[in-house]
């Protein structure tokens, strides 16, 4: 009795966990739905026809039956290219190839007509209209890997692809790779901080700023990039702006790989107009990017579990980015050599006019201005010179932290600099897919970013306009996800998705200066 009670309690807990996880997973899925109608030559509905959808790369097989109206639907279809086969007694078998499903698509292949004949006879449907988005009112656009590879993308960031979508305004500066850019995208007039981005269904927005990503991916590991701009379903919550979905590549039954090197150098650029006007050289701008990918089946010949190539698949990618990120020109005023010694007799104001009027706090009630210098510092008869005995040593030490002037004869500034940031990055991705059985499929991914830059001008904190000491900003990112789809019946499917992304910041000077 106790044993049965314990087993019942355990089953109830597992069922509750599945229900809760399923509701969470539904809001984070990348799977879509595929529907259609099966009729005979007189357009009468054919009920009970068996419809199978087989994914061409991983051989994932889905099965459904038509209802009394001849309608069928696959409610959870992972992204991929499928072959649809329809069989019914007394009719020839219908086969339709190259049905492409993008992430979160809700497609209808409309009517498929089955001619009378033997089931062994196969009719291949080729000249048909492309499936249409009839199952929902959303407005969306997708780019698949072949299109992505054919587009010149600045900084190797998939966020640059949003510029191809109608209704999107992007002001993002993607000269160099990084986690930024999401907060510079506005869709159909929505605020730029109201965008959501997911990788394989898992949220990837840094909620601290609501405008950057926790992790990024190599462009060569992206299978599909999709953006929903309006009228999307309630499952896309959190943000009212763009819903950007990134789907990674997966391994297939065949081994595939790639490798590339991308190079940019300031020697190939023209100097900008302002630099030419100011007599400044071109800023250092260097981009050396090496990446590779490899994917395929995991199999062990003559083993009982992994003997076949259609069970376990892997995909691995790495991208190494060595970058010098250009900075704008900084023009400021720093203490001169005389001012560091307490001598302001040669100092000038922002208009270049002499300004030796330094108030002596001990001369109470005495004015210190151009018409009356009775209250000003004077040493040895020199206006604006502070006596050495009155100098404050810690204050002098603070002034000496600043660099010496580099510009003379200019009003408003005497120091000019333009030092590029060092910004090395690395992006890692591991994805595994496992066809446990015809009814159960598992997948997982692990994403790791090494993301550290060093700047003479600091970050959003410790960010002076003058280079005193280089500031290091370490911003590593991590992403993990796990999912399972279980088919109880053609009309009952449970999908569980669990995952998270995170990042951290460590901002510190690189020296003890």
pLDDT value at residue 508: 87
CATH of domain 32-136: 2.60.40.1120
Structure tokens at 231: 């009228």
- A 10 A CB-CB count for 30 gives 26
Task: Note whether 478 and 502 are within 8 A (CB).
Answer: yes
- Using alpha carbons only, give the angle 500, 495, 87 rounded to the nearest 5 degrees: 145
pLDDT value at residue 134: 58
pLDDT value at residue 475: 92
Among 317, 433, 487, residue whose Cα is nearest residue 79: 433
Distance CA(412)–CA(348), nearest Å, equals: 9
Structure tokens at 400: 């000496």
pLDDT value at residue 467: 86
DSSP states along 408-430: -S-SS-SEEE--PEE--EEEEEE
The 10s digit of each residue's pLDDT in 262-287 is 888 888 888 888 888 878 888 888 88
The answer, yes or no, to whether residue 403 has pLDDT greater than 60, is yes
- With bands split at pLDDT 50, 70 and 90, how would you rate the model's confidence at 258? very high
Distance CA(445)–CA(440), nearest Å, equals: 18
Distance CA(219)–CA(156), nearest Å, equals: 6
- With bands split at pLDDT 50, 70 and 90, how would you rate the model's confidence at 133? low
Going by the DSSP 8-state scheme, the letter that residue 403 receives in this structure is P
Predicted structure pTM score: 0.76
Q: What average pLDDT does the segment 482-491 reach?
A: 85
Q: Which top CATH class is 140-329+421-509?
A: mainly beta
What is the chain's alpha carbon radius of gyration, rounded to the nearest angstrom?
33
- With bands split at pLDDT 50, 70 and 90, how would you rate the model's confidence at 99? confident
The 10s digit of each residue's pLDDT in 160-173 is 888 888 888 888 87
pLDDT value at residue 9: 47
Distance CA(188)–CA(493), nearest Å, equals: 35
Q: What backbone phi and psi angles, to 5 degrees, belong to 139?
A: -110, 120
Q: What average pLDDT does the segment 326-346 reach?
A: 92
Distance CA(153)–CA(236), nearest Å, equals: 27
Domain locations along the chain: 32-136, 140-329+421-509, 335-401
The answer, yes or no, to whether residue 2 has pLDDT greater than 50, is no
Q: Does 140-329+421-509 match 32-136 at the fold level?
A: no
The answer, yes or no, to whether residue 319 has pLDDT greater than 90, is yes
Query: Which residues are within 8 A (CB) of 398 and not within 5 positions of it... i.e. 6 or more apart?
Result: none
pLDDT value at residue 361: 94
The 10s digit of each residue's pLDDT in 190-233 is 888 889 999 998 999 998 888 899 999 999 999 888 888 877 76
């Amino acid at each position: 009795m106790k044993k049965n009670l314990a087993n019942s309690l355990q089953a109830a807990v597992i069922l509750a966990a599945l229900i809760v996880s399923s509701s969470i997973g539904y809001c984070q899925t990348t799977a879509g739905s595929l529907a259609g109608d099966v009729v005979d030559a007189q357009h009468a509905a054919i009920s009970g026809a068996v419809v199978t959808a087989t994914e061409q790369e991983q051989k994932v097989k889905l099965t459904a039956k038509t209802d009394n109206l001849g309608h069928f639907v696959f409610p959870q279809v992972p992204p991929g290219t499928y072959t649809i086969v329809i069989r019914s007694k007394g009719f020839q078998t219908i086969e339709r190839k190259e049905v492409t499903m993008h992430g979160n698509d809700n497609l209808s292949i409309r009517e498929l007509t089955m001619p009378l004949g033997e089931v062994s006879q196969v009719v291949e449907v080729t000249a048909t209209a492309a499936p249409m988005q009839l199952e929902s009112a959303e407005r969306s656009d997708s780019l698949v890997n072949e299109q992505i590879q054919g587009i010149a993308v600045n900084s190797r960031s998939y966020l640059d692809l949003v510029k191809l979508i109608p209704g999107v305004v992007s002001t993002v500066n993607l000269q160099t790779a990084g986690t930024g850019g999401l907060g510079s995208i506005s869709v159909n007039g929505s605020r730029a901080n109201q965008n959501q981005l997911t990788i394989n269904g898992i949220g990837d927005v840094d909620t601290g700023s609501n405008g950057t990503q926790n992790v990024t991916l190599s462009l060569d590991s992206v299978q599909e990039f999709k953006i929903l701009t309006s009228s999307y379903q309630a499952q896309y919550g959190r943000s009212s702006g763009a819903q950007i979905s990134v789907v990674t590549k997966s391994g297939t039954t065949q081994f595939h790989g790639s490798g590339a090197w991308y190079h940019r150098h300031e020697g190939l650029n023209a100097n900008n107009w302002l630099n030419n006007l100011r007599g400044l050289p071109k800023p250092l701008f260097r981009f050396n990017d090496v990446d590779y990918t490899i994917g395929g089946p995991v199999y062990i010949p003559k083993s009982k579990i992994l003997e076949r190539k259609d069970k376990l698949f892997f995909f691995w990618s790495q991208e190494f980015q060595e970058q010098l990120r250009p900075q704008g020109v900084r023009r400021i005023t720093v203490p001169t050599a005389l001012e560091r010694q307490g001598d302001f007799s040669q100092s000038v104001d922002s208009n270049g006019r002499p300004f030796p009027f330094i108030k002596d706090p001990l001369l109470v009630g005495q004015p210190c201005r151009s018409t009356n210098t009775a209250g000003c510092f004077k040493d040895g008869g020199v206006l604006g010179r502070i006596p050495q005995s009155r100098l404050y040593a810690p204050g002098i030490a603070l002034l000496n932290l600043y660099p010496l002037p580099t510009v003379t004869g200019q009003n408003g500034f005497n120091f000019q600099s333009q030092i590029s940031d060092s910004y090395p990055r690395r992006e890692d991705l591991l994805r595994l897919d496992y066809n446990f059985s015809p009814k159960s499929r598992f997948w997982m991914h692990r994403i790791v970013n090494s993301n550290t830059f060093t700047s003479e001008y600091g970050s959003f904190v410790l960010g002076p306009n003058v280079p005193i000491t280089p500031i290091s900003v370490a911003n590593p990112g991590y992403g993990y996800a796990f999912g399972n789809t279980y088919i109880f019946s053609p009309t009952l499917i449970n999908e569980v998705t669990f995952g998270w992304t995170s990042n951290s910041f460590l901002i510190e000077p690189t020296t003890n200066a």
